């Protein structure tokens, strides 16, 4: 009996220890958290060099996009120790800086000679600074990104379609330069039979739950002249958010959705858009540049069959910002290791390899390289897009601001409720209420 008791105690102790040990952070181990998507795989490859150079084992926690914000913000809010390093959305900067979730990196950058001037200015402002545009750095630009477009180059090149398009619109069928042209091209393709399949014009973002419809609609709103404030920093949104230009832009987005989106794409974001394109349902699709390397390599629709273009302009040239910076989580038990990774990642050679592997480096050593534009078929467009990006609020209350916009836009665009003017007026009221609660109005 006594032997059995001892054996049971031994087994239970072993069980307890075996479950406890993985929870203890090792000094030579780092966990990097990010979204689960193509560039994350490239980062795993790249980080092998860091392990080889330092002996630090890299662990990765990649969360699917629809749950990324929920999962990681919960982790930060609960003071969890899952992530030592975090590649987080630009909109999280305000909250994470003010709540002390991220380490301020100014002193570290000064000490290690890391200069923010070595990175693209738009990327630094968007991914690193809070308050936006000030020299207070909370992240190193890690992954430049913007919303762009890709199209079926092989369909566009078909002589019969070229002729039909020229007859109808009096110009050559090619990548659209403006939102008006975009709608024309999308309408032209919608309902046509190509290679024995009925096709549609464009797959655009309509997702309701996280950020999809906002990221999609702002790609129309910004070029039409939408602004968040009349005077930056003053929160005077009336006449900016709901200006006549903004209304026209939102109407243009809805018109594109109504005319040319494939059936069933009422709640679609990145994955659904990629599916629509890869399955040959659409002639064009919007999505983040991050997916372009993978699309170009796709056996069915990549290579010669695919072309890329930057978000069309209208009144102004503008693209919706994506991308992220890499931050050190203040709660980490391995601060030295996390900072060492940042230092390593900031090196020009590492940044060049990052781009070569499929990550969007925004280091000037990469972007200003004479061979950069020709290095990938979408590289030149990426440069153009990054120079015209506009971003959503980065306020600490960004999540509520985003939810309000998601609701108002989805109600109007997908659910057909009210007019564009009413949707944007309601949005202004929602945002005013939020900023009043914040004491900023």
Partner 1 sequence: MTDAPSTIAERSAEMLARATPTTIAVRVRGFSDRAIAWLFITPTIALLLAINIFPLIWAVYLSFTNFRANRPNAEVEGVGLRNYQRVLNDPDIWIAMQTTAHFVFWTILLQTVIGFAIAYLIDRKFRGHAFWTTVILIPMMLSPAVVGNFWRFLYQPQIGLFNYIVSFFTGIPPSSFEMLGSVALAPWAIIIVDTWMWAPYVMLICLAGLRSIPDYIYEAAEVDRASAWRQFWSITVPMALPFIMLAVLFRGIENFKMFDMVMLLTGGGPGSTTEVASITLKREAFESWLTGRSSAFAIILFVAVFGLANIYVKALNRVKQR
Binding residues (CB under 8 A) for partner 1: these are 1, 69-70, 73-74, 76-77, 79, 95, 98-100, 207-209, 262-267, 281, 396, 399-400, 403, 407, 410-412, 414-417
Taking the complex as a whole, the smallest distance from the CB of residue 53 to partner 1 amounts, in Å, to: 36
Based on CB atoms, which residue is closest to partner 1, 103 or 361? Answer: 103
CA dist list (Å): 320 to 48, 178, 215: 32, 15, 7
Which residues have C-beta within 8 Å of that of residue 388, sequence separation ≥ 6? Answer: 310, 317, 318, 319
**SS3 of the chain: helix, strand, coil, percent, to 5:** 50, 15, 35
Based on CB atoms, which residue is closest to partner 1, 88 or 262? Answer: 262
Based on CB atoms, which residue is closest to partner 1, 160 or 416? Answer: 416
Taking the complex as a whole, the smallest distance from the CB of residue 359 to partner 1 amounts, in Å, to: 29
Taking the complex as a whole, the smallest distance from the CB of residue 415 to partner 1 amounts, in Å, to: 3
H or E stretch at 111: helix 106-112
Taking the complex as a whole, the smallest distance from the CB of residue 391 to partner 1 amounts, in Å, to: 19
Q: Residue 305 carries which DSSP code? A: G
Based on CB atoms, which residue is closest to partner 1, 163 or 417? Answer: 417
Taking the complex as a whole, the smallest distance from the CB of residue 21 to partner 1 amounts, in Å, to: 27
Taking the complex as a whole, the smallest distance from the CB of residue 322 to partner 1 amounts, in Å, to: 20
Which residues have C-beta within 8 Å of that of residue 124, sequence separation ≥ 6? Answer: 116, 137, 141
Q: Which pair of tokens denotes residue 13?
A: 């102790």
Based on CB atoms, which residue is closest to partner 1, 363 or 407? Answer: 407
Based on CB atoms, which residue is closest to partner 1, 67 or 162? Answer: 67
Report how far apart the first and last C-alpha atoms of the chain are (Å, whole number): 74
CA 419 vs. chain centroid, Å, equals 28
Sequence length of the chain is 441
Whole-number Å distance between alpha carbons of 357 and 42: 6
Taking the complex as a whole, the smallest distance from the CB of residue 438 to partner 1 amounts, in Å, to: 11
Taking the complex as a whole, the smallest distance from the CB of residue 266 to partner 1 amounts, in Å, to: 3
Report which of 394, 70, 397 is spatially closest to residue 210, judged by C-alpha positions. Answer: 70
Based on CB atoms, which residue is closest to partner 1, 29 or 267? Answer: 267
Whole-number Å distance between alpha carbons of 298 and 7: 56
Based on CB atoms, which residue is closest to partner 1, 3 or 22? Answer: 3
Identify the burial level of 342 via C-beta atoms within 10 angstroms of its C-beta, where 0-12 means exposed, 13-18 middle and 19 or more buried. buried
């Amino acid at each position: 009996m006594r032997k059995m008791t001892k054996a049971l105690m031994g087994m239970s102790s072993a069980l307890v220890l075996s479950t406890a040990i993985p929870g203890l952070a090792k000094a030579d181990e780092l966990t990097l958290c990010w979204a689960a998507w193509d560039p994350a795989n490239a980062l795993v490859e790249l980080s092998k060099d860091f392990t080889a150079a330092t002996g630090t084992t890299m662990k990765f926690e990649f969360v699917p996009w629809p749950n990324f914000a929920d999962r990681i913000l919960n982790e930060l809010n609960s003071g969890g120790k899952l992530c030592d390093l975090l590649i987080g959305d630009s909109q999280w900067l305000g909250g994470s800086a003010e709540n002390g979730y991220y380490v301020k990196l100014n002193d570290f950058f000064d000490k290690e000679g890391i200069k923010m001037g070595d990175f693209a200015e738009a990327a630094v402002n968007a991914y690193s600074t809070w308050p936006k545009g000030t020299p207070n750095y909370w992240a190193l630009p890690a992954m430049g990104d913007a919303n762009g477009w890709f199209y079926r180059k092989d369909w566009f090149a078909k002589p019969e379609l070229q002729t039909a398009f020229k007859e109808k619109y009096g110009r050559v069928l090619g990548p659209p330069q403006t939102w008006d042209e975009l709608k024309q091209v999308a309408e032209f393709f919608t309902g046509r039979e190509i290679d024995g399949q009925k096709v549609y014009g464009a797959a655009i973002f309509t997702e309701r739950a996280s950020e999809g419809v906002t990221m999609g609609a702002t790609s129309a709103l910004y070029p039409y002249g939408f602004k968040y404030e009349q005077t930056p920093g003053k929160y005077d949104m009336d006449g900016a958010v709901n200006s006549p230009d903004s209304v026209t832009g939102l109407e243009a987005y809805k018109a594109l959705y109504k005319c040319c989106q494939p059936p069933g794409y009422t709640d679609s974001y990145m994955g659904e858009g990629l599916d629509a394109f890869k399955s040959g349902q659409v002639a064009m699709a919007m999505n983040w540049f991050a997916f372009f390397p993978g699309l170009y390599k796709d056996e069915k629709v990549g290579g010669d069959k695919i072309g890329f273009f930057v978000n069309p302009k209208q009144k102004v040239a503008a693209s919706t910002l994506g991308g992220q910076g890499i931050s050190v989580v203040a709660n980490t038990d391995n601060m030295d290791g996390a900072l060492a990774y940042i230092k390593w990642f900031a090196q020009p050679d590492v940044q060049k390899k990052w781009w070569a592997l499929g990550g969007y480096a925004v280091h000037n050593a990469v972007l200003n390289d004479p061979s950069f534009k020709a290095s990938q078929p979408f590289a030149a467009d990426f440069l153009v897009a990054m120079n015209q990006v506009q971003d959503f609020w980065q306020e600490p209350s960004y999540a509520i601001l985003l939810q309000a916009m998601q609701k108002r836009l989805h109600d109007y665009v997908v659910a057909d409720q009210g007019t564009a003017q009413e949707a944007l007026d309601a949005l202004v009221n929602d945002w005013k209420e939020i900023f009043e609660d914040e004491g900023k109005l």
